[in-house]
Amino acid sequence: MSDIFVSYAREDRDRVSLLVQALEKKDWTVFWDRIIRPGEKYRDIIEAEIQACRCVLVLWTEQSVHSGWVQDEAQLGEKKLVPVLLDEVRLPLGFGTIHAANLVGWNGNESAPSFIRLISDIATKLDGPAPVKPPPHPPGPLPTQRPEILDKLISLITKLSALIVVTIVATVIITGIILWAFERLGIYFSALRVGLIVLVVVSVVALAISTILSWFKRRRKNEYN
């Protein structure tokens, strides 16, 4: 199976050879040689090649427009046809509505715009049109669920706030009881000593709370185990 089947008239073989060489440089396989091995039926070979190839390149010239073989080949490969004008000619009936690449006067220059357009047309037949990219999806609504790290941070702040409140309340109550007891005994403290007492009470309360929480955690763990 070849990538490209070239339909042409024998009289144009020299010009066709120039184009075939340019196509083969693109790493495409081209069927164009009319030589058939002994025992093979010409019509069967041609029909099989046209059906198996992916692109039928018909070269319209002053000779090929009058060739029944070329017209038959072009009609058989109509769905994958890429017509090319090598001469300024009137196309046979039924082929004039298909756009033909214009290579009239082409001398083998592979950088010519007309040849580049032809290569693009052939590549489209071989590979198919470029896939259409789907439109980008509009951005969805912002997630309502907060990130896990934010939840943990909020939970930590809540626990610390509760511990601070409990520590302050306990410190105020215990410090007030201590000062009240000493005042009942007629002992009064300066502001500095009161501050020291508060500091000691805070340390003791914080240590007590930490110890109590640790004990509850161990007990809870033991209950689950």
User: How would you write the pLDDT of the chain (225 residues) with one tens digit per residue?
Assistant: 789 999 999 999 999 999 999 999 999 999 987 655 655 677 888 899 999 999 999 999 999 999 999 999 999 999 999 999 999 999 988 887 778 899 999 999 999 999 999 999 999 988 865 445 555 655 555 555 556 676 677 777 777 777 787 788 888 888 888 888 888 887 877 777 777 887 888 788 777 877 887 776 777 666 555
CATH number of the domain within which 104 lies: 3.40.50.10140
Residues 120 and 11 grouped into a single domain: yes
The percent of the chain in helix, strand and coil, each rounded to the nearest 5, is 55, 10, 35
Residues 175 and 212 grouped into a single domain: yes
Residues 39 and 68 grouped into a single domain: yes
- Structural domain contains residue 139: no
Whether the predicted model's global pTM rises above the 0.75 cut = no
Residues 175 and 109 grouped into a single domain: no
Burial-class residue 31 by CB neighbours within 10 Å (0-12, 13-18, 19+). Answer: buried
Kindly report the backbone phi and psi dihedral angles of residue 58, in degrees, each rounded to the nearest multiple of 5, phi listed first.
Answer: -100, 130
Burial-class residue 69 by CB neighbours within 10 Å (0-12, 13-18, 19+). Answer: middle
- CA–CA distance, 114 with 87 (Å, rounded to integer): 14
Residues 103 and 211 grouped into a single domain: no
Range of the structural domain that residue 70 is part of: 4-127
Residues 111 and 159 grouped into a single domain: no
Closest CA to 75 of 54, 48, 94: 94
Q: Go through 149-187 and write b for each residue having 16 or more CB atoms within 10 A of its CB, e for each that does not.
A: eeeeeeeeeeeeeeeeeebeebbeebbeebbeeeeeeee
- Structural domain contains residue 189: yes
Residues 44 and 98 grouped into a single domain: yes
